[in-house]
Structure 1
């Protein structure tokens, strides 16, 4: 299996097969609008704008599992991202990343790259997974790892 075997859904409700990103480097991030890490949207947008012409994409997956910090519906999330951070990278439908209702993509990501001390669970909003051009998980980064701190890993994958 690879990341390309999964399909997500955009905030607008359209299917988003990850196979459409085949051959690109991806940064997959679980996001939230009311989190202390929410300002990372700005850095994620900068990465997207700086590297998208080189075959890079950021994919945001809103999640309300951590402190209920993403309470809005799809329209509210899209409005917040656009007006507050000028987000133009693809944003997906709100999902669960942990538990029995976890999106299959996240179940797979967590098995591919475990967290600290071998744990699988996502600990908080803005956990990041770097996917290589081959569709394999190259790295897992904590919420405290800023988008700017990932530049060298992204450049190496490109």
Structure 2
């Protein structure tokens, strides 16, 4: 996914305030106010200096607009979005530092998060179906000459 993510980030996708308003349902006045409150950010894109909103900011505008339509105050919506970003950041750290393998089976997906810190002879395994997620510890199979950095994980 690295090259895909890099390519996606390199695309210069942005909309002016009128088009952003049209696709998000937020009024230009709302968008300007949210920008003033630093909930979203625009950039000057071309020589005439018109404001442009990136795909990430358009997503934020949709989130804010949806939450306001559901009855949230702007302050509460902002807090919820910040909490959501913090959770996503921590999930990214977990996956990028611990996920070692993913295997898709007929009825489930099995994630191997590697050895337990306090019991390195066992890997943390998550078995996920459409409706459940269960965690297990699974013994790591080792040959006599292996250490924990060159181990053979037993099949799922």
TM bracket (short chain): under 0.3
| TM-score, normalising length: structure 1 | 0.23
Q: Which has the higher contact order (CA 8 A, sep 6+)?
A: 1
- Based on CA coordinates, which of the two structures has the bigger radius of gyration? 2
